Amino acid sequence: MELLSVEFLSALITIVFIDLILAGDNAIVIGLAARNLPTHQQKSAVIWGTVGAVGIRAIATILVVYLLDIPWLLMVGGILLLWIAYKLLVDQNGHDDIKPGNTLWASIRTIIIADAAMGLDNVIAVAGAAHGDYLLVVLGLIISIPIVVWGSTLFIKAINRLPWIVYLGSGVLAYTAAKMITHEPKVEHFFQSSPLFKWSFMILVVILVIVAGLWKNSMRLRMNANKKSRGTHQ
């Protein structure tokens, strides 16, 4: 991709948006890991913990970008990313297993280890959106660092007030996954022969993921409502 071309800039915006939409867990981990520290040390824990976590994530992402050249791995990564896009909509896991550190270095270590364990979704998504361009990976992460450190808490509040942002983010992930699948060398000729088929497939994938998430969430709300109604009748 040419630097500052429309394709390059759109991919960069996609990567930054993916980093943002998946930053909620990072912000929670950072907050939980640093919550027992004195106020004057919390900022240092947040900054250095995030820098260490992003450094590991950058190396992992570049490694995944390299690995995606292996036959069929691009399709496998795309299918895995579809699952991540779906889980983004329906996952309600807590973070009770994140233990706060009592010292600055313990908190930094907790942030880095927890982020590395939870960061697979981000790594796969960014690697897929970069399409083999290492500069895009590095630029995306550099732009995302200050946003994640200083803006992730605001972003979580925005998501809580505007739930459609999560659906938009899931749609972007599903679109990125569909692009990965259509760019798999083993099947690329099927999609390249007909642009209409390619775009129809990508749009269908995005719609299916969002509809599946909406259906799952509506089923959960219905089940919770039934439990509450049974509880009031007992």
Residue 124 in tokens: 């796969």
Please indicate whether residue 141 or residue 82 has the higher confidence score (pLDDT): 82
Q: Are 191 and 152 in contact (CB under 8 A)?
A: no
pLDDT at 204: 96
Q: Using CA atoms of 164, 167, 169, 173 in order, give the dihedral in degrees to the nearest 10.
A: -170
Q: Which of 24-28, 32-36, 104-108 has the lowest mean pLDDT?
A: 24-28
User: H or E segment at 187?
Assistant: none
Per-residue burial over 50-68, b = 16 or more CB atoms within 10 Å of its CB, e = otherwise? bebbbeebbebbbebbeeb
Which amino acid appears at position 110 of this protein?
A: T
88-118 per-position pLDDT tens digit: 788 655 555 555 567 778 877 777 776 666 6
The model's confidence at residue 18, banded by pLDDT at 50, 70 and 90, is confident
Tell me how far apart the alpha carbons of residues 112 and 46 are, in angstroms, rounded to a whole number.
Answer: 10
The model's confidence at residue 143, banded by pLDDT at 50, 70 and 90, is confident
| CA distances (Å), origin 146, targets 27, 47, 54, 149, 150 | 12, 9, 11, 5, 6
pLDDT at 23: 63
pLDDT at 57: 76
- pLDDT greater than 60 at residue 183: yes
